[in-house]
Chain A
């Protein structure tokens, strides 16, 4: 079932099949270009058209409803094709079934369809100038095989991939349909049987191009060499991936090249007769003629591409780089469309879909990048703005403050506003902001950068110097107690600001003062048998003197009540002195055998850095000079400190702090595996036994004391015994710990 259209041909209406019309049109076009240089071309064409019209009329008169492709083919055969004109200058060989008289019946004529079309000679491969996308190579091949050029293009695409190299070769070598010299020996592509290894394809190619045979053979063999060298399994499938990736070297030299060889083997005729062989060598393909041909073709393509490009230019969304690629794909699609005379088949829509997909993916990626950028900036901006009330505690008045305000405004908020408005514009289809607005946005942003740098350097300057640390002792009211618990001042309301954890600022404040809980606790064994607390106050500043002043002003006090030590609610920072990284290191010396516990009330983990083992460090004498102040920070605090658990009692032994199993009830975060599930009762029993032993020993001691009076208080044996028992107890406990931990 074919579509039929009516055409106005030489003043009469002809019903003709759509396909037949296409054929006819192409034919007339080919005539047109054949007679391009002929004087009186229009007249000739007109005459020929008249003749065609006449023949068609005759057909219609005979009772045929519409002109079909066969009819057109017959008509063209009788009039002749341009190729036939110059081949024998219009004369058919008498052996071929001669010109068809259309007055004969169609039945008869259909038998002779093939011969007239061929003319007297074998059909020749030439490039079709009328029907070309790039160079008409595929069209030419299509004409030769009588298939649709589109089919050839598709086959080319899949078989050989975007094989520019092969295409270029054919583009150069295959003559154009519009260039017909009258007479002269044309060069034809044959297979050279005299020079063959497999099929003579390489030989024929070499003769045609005038290249040495071995070069061509190596070209065909390169993929295999490469395969062997690389030993990549993927390479076998590489040419299937060809459509995705126009890496023409890869594809040209892939095993897909074998297909090219096979195709050529099938297609090319053998050079049998001496005439053939002469033709095979024939004229040399002239470099000048090659150059001219390519130049002309490229110019033509450029012009066509430009015209289509300007069409696409007027569409939306042309600025993105990916759009250029998409546009080029579109141009290609348009090109093949035009060559098909606006036949919008599936291929067209397929191409459109592919283009849209590519565009969509690229846009998506860009959108994600853009959104994350904006979100990051927004986060910084919000954080900075929220911190603004605290600025007085950190920044000097004047330049620093202004610079930070400026930096926030310009560095952070300006780009956010700019990006958001640009997006809104784009989505809503408004015109882009005019050049002044855009450049002022950029300028402000750059000023923001400058301010940021100034702020950064200025602030760094304020913190540059470190004070000279002095260790002060804090006198405990009762240093000889057994057990010390560090806790926070009771009845405090703590405002935990968890929104962002910028440690120096984490605190709470009333109007003038911010309390910063920058405290580090070091627990070290004591050299005496009493608890000792030492405190070092540290601060930074612009100058050492200033730092010293600030350090002195730190107000850090302890309150001791029996076995509890209450810490202040924090280091007070006021607006005059500003925050300059004031912090305090508190060293608690625990005598061996005594216990210590740090409760987790109030002070969160981030503020207390506790050195668990405390064995390696003595009291602080390391913060000697400015240059070494890093040491304080680089001390191996954190290796150990995380092991120190809050709310857990620790006992200082000769080898360091050891955890005592009992955990205090009030504390929330208990260490996990205090109580072992294996044999708890046994452990309890042992504990009881040990306790009893201890009691026994104590009783014995008392008895002994009573017996011998008070002298024996200092009896070394007794004391030793007690000590031994105690240490035994401790060791057993240690063993138990090991098993139960």
Chain B
């Protein structure tokens, strides 16, 4: 079994959810998202982010508006749509359920698992 692959799969799973949650907290533009994720110790490449945002936008979960800036080209600021909010709620519930389940399964193994779940949730 390939550890790295599994790790990657795990991260991939929560990626969309994390992004939605960031946007849900307020209007952001992509670099901001990267910044915030970095602060949360979840590093993402912009090259991955952009297609993801576009996909979500095409799926109707996000919307954007152009904001002119004095320095640099106009930026896209992303906001949640109604559908996006709804999706976020669903995903949040899923996550909580899953976190719970995993927590239960791993509580006997170590205390660090316990801690991680606490911070995210």
State the A residues within 8 Å of B (CB): 10-12, 31, 35, 38-40, 43-44, 47-48, 50-51, 53-54, 57-58, 61, 78-82, 84-85, 87-94, 98-99, 101, 121, 183, 185, 275, 278
Contacts and interface: CB of A to CB of B under 8 A. Distances in A.
Nearest to A90: B48
Interface stretch (B5-13, B86-94, B106-114): B5-13
B58 A39 contact: yes
Given A10-B73, A58-B72, A91 B42 contact: yes
B73 A54 contact: yes
B46 interface: yes
Say which size band chain B's interface belongs to. Answer: 35 or more
B120 to A, nearest CB: 16
B25 interface: no
A78 to B, nearest CB: 6
Which of B3, B34, B45: most chain A CB closer than 10 A?
B45
25 contacts: A11-B73, A40-B55, A40-B57, A47-B54, A48-B50, A50-B74, A50-B76, A54-B31, A57-B71, A57-B73, A58-B71, A79-B46, A84-B47, A88-B4, A88-B7, A90-B45, A91-B12, A91-B42, A91-B43, A91-B45, A92-B43, A101-B35, A183-B9, A185-B5, A275-B3
Interface in B73-111: 73-76
Interface in B24-72: 30-31, 34-35, 38, 41-55, 57-58, 71-72
A427 to B, nearest CB: 61
Contacts of A82: 47
The list of the 9 closest CB pairs from A to B, nearest first, reads A90-B48, A80-B45, A80-B47, A79-B46, A54-B72, A40-B54, A92-B43, A57-B72, A88-B8
A82 B48 CA distance: 9
B15 interface: yes
Given A10-B73, A53-B73, A90 B15 contact: yes
A58 B71 CA distance: 8
Given A47-B50, A91-B8, A84 B45 contact: yes
A275 B54 contact: no
A88 B50 CA distance: 16
Given A47-B54, A81-B47, A91 B72 contact: no
B45 A99 contact: yes
Contacts of B42: 91
Given A39-B58, A40-B54, A99-B34, A50 B73 contact: yes
B10 to A, nearest CB: 10
Given A39-B58, A89-B15, A53 B48 contact: no
Given A54-B75, A61-B71, A94 B50 contact: no
B2 A185 contact: yes
Given A44-B54, A99-B38, A183-B5, A51 B46 contact: yes
A51 B43 CA distance: 17
Contacts of B57: 40
Given A61-B71, A79-B46, A90-B15, A51 B2 contact: no
A87 B45 CA distance: 12
Contact of B48 (A54, A80, A93, A101): A80
A94 B75 contact: no
A33 to B, nearest CB: 13
A278 B55 CA distance: 34
A79 B8 contact: no
Contacts of A101: 35
Nearest to B2: A275
A54 B31 CA distance: 10
B118 to A, nearest CB: 20
A720 B46 CA distance: 137
Contacts of B48: 80, 85, 89-91
Contacts of B72: 53-54, 57-58
A135 B46 CA distance: 30
B34 A43 contact: no
Contacts of A89: 8, 11-12, 15, 48
Contact of B30 (A51, A87, A99, A278): A51
A84 B47 CA distance: 9
Contacts of A79: 45-47
Best-surrounded residue of B3, B44, B73 (most CB of chain A within 10 A) = B73
Contacts of B55: 38-40
Contacts of A47: 30, 50, 53-54, 76
A90 B73 contact: no
B37 to A, nearest CB: 9
Nearest to A10: B73
Contacts of B75: 50, 54
Nearest to B76: A47
Contacts of A58: 71-72
Contacts of B38: 98-99
B8 to A, nearest CB: 4
B119 to A, nearest CB: 16
Contacts of B58: 39-40
Nearest to A35: B51
A80 B2 contact: no
Nearest to A120: B4
B76 to A, nearest CB: 7
B36 to A, nearest CB: 12
Nearest to A31: B47
A10 to B, nearest CB: 5
A491 B16 CA distance: 126
Contacts of A91: 8, 11-12, 15, 42-45, 48
B42 to A, nearest CB: 7
A91 B35 CA distance: 13
Contacts of B11: 88-89, 91
A51 B53 CA distance: 14
A12 B73 contact: yes
Contact of A78 (B2, B41, B46, B51): B46
Nearest to A80: B45
Contacts of B46: 48, 51, 78-80, 99
B49 to A, nearest CB: 7
A85 B47 contact: yes
A43 B56 CA distance: 13
Given A12-B73, A53-B73, A88-B4, A98 B43 contact: yes
Nearest to B12: A89
Nearest to B48: A90
Given A43-B54, A51-B30, A99-B38, A94 B43 contact: yes
Contact of A48 (B44, B47, B52): B47
Given A47-B30, A53-B72, 5 more contacts: A38-B54, A39-B55, A78-B45, A90-B47, A91-B8
A10 B73 CA distance: 7
Nearest to A184: B5
Residue from B8, B9, B44 having most chain A Cβ neighbours under 10 A:
B8
A160 to B, nearest CB: 35
A278 B3 CA distance: 13
A96 B41 CA distance: 12
B91 to A, nearest CB: 17
B41 A94 contact: yes
A54 B70 CA distance: 11
Contacts of A54: 31, 72-73, 75
Nearest to B8: A88
B11 to A, nearest CB: 5
